[in-house]
Structure 1
């Protein structure tokens, strides 16, 4: 199974989400591809993701993740906790700190949902922090230095022991993401 985990205020309809779904359908149709719309509440999102993982494990499927931004933060926790391999795209390292600035009303342009970020959401996020990567062989981390939302250097520090691709320039969306899908699938060990 490949579980694609989108970022904050995003959706499977994001550019990366659509590109990944199309690529998997074309080149790896035999791989179960799961790309849920995550609830805005972090605990509800993790309940959904953990349910999907448990279902895959019951079917005997290997676990693979692609996580973008906040999805990368969650994918780190899932890979460390449940096993499997994770590809992280410009992952958030300390999103609970960013949530302080985001407290209040939020709007998801993909789902048109309006919701509130409350102070308790910060502590909920901290529950899923992987302060130290214990299984670096499980991770392939793609970063662009031009990320205008997150400081890529924090991810370099956290994932220094993992397979890293650091590209100069770019932005938070990871420009040229579609060009990385072959190497992503190679890392995830999908058969050609």
Structure 2
């Protein structure tokens, strides 16, 4: 089944202006112009973020949609994949953001626009716990792109989190996956973009 609708979810403190989001959008526009592509700006509240996504994909065909997520967006992508029963691609995915983001409670700045500020509230930790899909088997096909050189997340945890996934484990690399553009054809092929 080909993918006609593609959702991209950015990471913590990130935005649709991230390099990977823009590279994905450009690749889809150039090579798969008939695919509907959506990369929303996610609010800081995990519950609100997934409510926004659920509303945005409400009319999407479940049998021909897919999701890509980076870092915290990878964690969210696993939730979306369960919710929609669709294939997913995780890019250096956060495995336990409830644990990792606890130290970020308080005022934060946006990565791409430091003048943009938001508050990461204590209750967001519980919201993240409620979205954790680790106890469930994969709902559909998964691909995980994991860099051993990730300076933010432990690559071994990522590998262990997605045992059923097709995995591409990169020697070196970084959390931003600077070589992501090189893997877009592989991602497109895995998702069978229309």
TM-score when scaled to structure 1? 0.93
DSSP 3-state at the match of 1:123: helix
Aligned equivalent of 1:44 = 48
Displacement of 1:76:
0.3
Query: Deviations for 1:146-183, whole angstroms, at most 9, x for unmatched residues?
Result: 00011111111110221000011000011210010111
Contact 1:136–1:159 (Cα < 8 Å) also in 2: no
Unaligned 5+ residue runs, structure 2?
Answer: none
2:145 pairs with 1:139: no
- Separation in structure 1 between the aligned mates of residue 116 and residue 54 of structure 2, nearest angstrom: 23
Between 1:33-42 and 1:68-77, the stretch displaced more is 33-42
| CA–CA distance in structure 2, aligned partners of residues 110 and 93 of structure 1 | 23
| C-alpha separation in 2, matches of 1:86 and 1:95 | 18
Distance 1:17 1:186 in 2: 18
Correspondent of 1:125 among 124, 128, 144: 128
2:158 is aligned with 1:155: yes
Gapped regions of structure 1 (runs ≥ 5): none
1:4-15 mapped onto 2 (5 Å cutoff): 4-15=8-19
Distance 1:51 1:137 in 2: 21
Aligned pairs (5 A) from 1:73-92: 73-92=75-94
Q: Greater relative contact order: 1 or 2 (C-alpha under 8 angstroms, separation 6 or more)?
A: 2
Structure 2 residue 131 is the aligned partner of structure 1 residue 110: no
Distance of 2:118 and 2:139 partners within structure 1: 35
CA contact (8 A) 1:143 1:166 kept: yes
Q: Residue 29 of structure 1 aligns with which residue?
A: 33
The whole-number CA distance in structure 2 between the counterparts of 1:101 and 1:183 is 35
